[in-house]
Structure 1
Amino acid sequence: MDETVLQQVLDRLGNIEGTLHNLVEGQKRLEEEQLTIRKEQQTIRREQQILLQGQKRLEEEQAYLQSGLKELNELMTALLHRQDETDAKLEAPATDVHSIHGEIASLKQGLHELEEKVDSHYHQLNERLDNIQLDVDFAVHKTTANERELYKIKNRLF
């Protein structure tokens, strides 16, 4: 009878060792998965930093474009002021009037071309900002999904 009891104890110890081995293997897998998740988080953070740097560059470019637009508006105001002064002085011969009209038309054409360029840059900048916003939204969504998965994994562990 002692041998039977001893055999049963040894069988149970064998089962306990097997279970312990399975638990240790499971713990190793969870630690590996957790390490993988941390690496993915670091990658996402780096990508987010790149996006933020890109957004900052775009904001700087936008500030530069706005400064250029302000300067163009000041130039336009100065040109319009000079045009008004010229119009006041030119109540003389028709030939001078025709000459001045040609110059004004040229200035307006140049101004129109500049406005078109500024509008083009403005639209391109807005498209870039929209793309960055979409990228940031995607990164936020991806981060939230990863955090949710981490939370689920933690809940399974405990």
Structure 2
Amino acid sequence: MFMDETVLQQVLDKLGNIEGTLHNLVEGQKRLEEEQLTIRKEQQTIRREQQILLQGQKRLEEEQAYLQSGLKELNELMTALLHRQDETDAKLEALATDVHIIHGEIASLKQGLHELEEKVDSHYHQLNERLDNIQLDVDFAVHKTTANERELYKIKNRLF
């Protein structure tokens, strides 16, 4: 029986070892399940954060599309403004040319007016001289006529 006891003891020892190993396995399984639960919670947190990031990305993409639309509109406005600026520049250049021509015409008119004033002054002086001469002639003629009338009066009075 000694052998049976030894075998039994060995079986019991082995069973004890198996039981210890089983206990270790069960404990390990529990730890793995707890870690797995923790990992799943972290995974859910990551998924929520990922959803938030995706929503943020979508919002950024929408804002980017809005900004690109605004930029396109601004570019169109800028192109229109540049076109109008070119038209305005051309009109301004034409206006400057017209003003330059007008300045030339004004200078020519001033020169013509100055020459005309000189002619008028010259004619004025000539007319004044002629009027003075005519006045002298009229005065002389009046004086002569008066003198002749007196002489005629005297002659008439002597004859009659």
With structure 2 as the length reference, what TM-score do the two structures score?
Answer: 0.49
Query: Bigger shift: 122-131 or 91-100?
Result: 122-131
Q: 1:100 to 1:117 in 2, by over 3 A?
A: same
How far 1:151 sits from its partner (Å)?
162
The number of aligned residues is: 158
Provide Cα deviations, 1:2-48, integer angstroms capped at 9, x if missing partner.
Answer: 55554544444333222222211111111111111122122112212
Whole-angstrom distance in 1 between the partners of 2:9 and 2:156: 39
Matching residue of 1:7: 9
Provide Cα deviations, 1:75-130, integer angstroms capped at 9, x if missing partner.
Answer: 11111222222233334666999999999999999999999999999999999999
Query: What runs of 5+ residues in structure 2 fail to find an aligned partner?
Result: none
Q: Choose between structure 1 and 2 for higher RCO, CA contacts under 8 A separated by at least 6 residues.
A: 1
Whole-angstrom distance in 1 between the partners of 2:154 and 2:26: 20
How far 1:71 sits from its partner (Å)?
0.8
Query: Bigger shift: 16-25 or 84-93?
Result: 84-93
Provide Cα deviations, 1:30-79, integer angstroms capped at 9, x if missing partner.
Answer: 11111111221221122122112211211111111111111111111111
**Which one has a bigger Cα radius of gyration?**
2
Query: What runs of 5+ residues in structure 1 fail to find an aligned partner?
Result: none
Whole-angstrom distance in 1 between the partners of 2:149 and 2:113: 53
Q: 1:30 to 1:61 in 2, by over 3 A?
A: same
Q: Percent identity?
A: 98
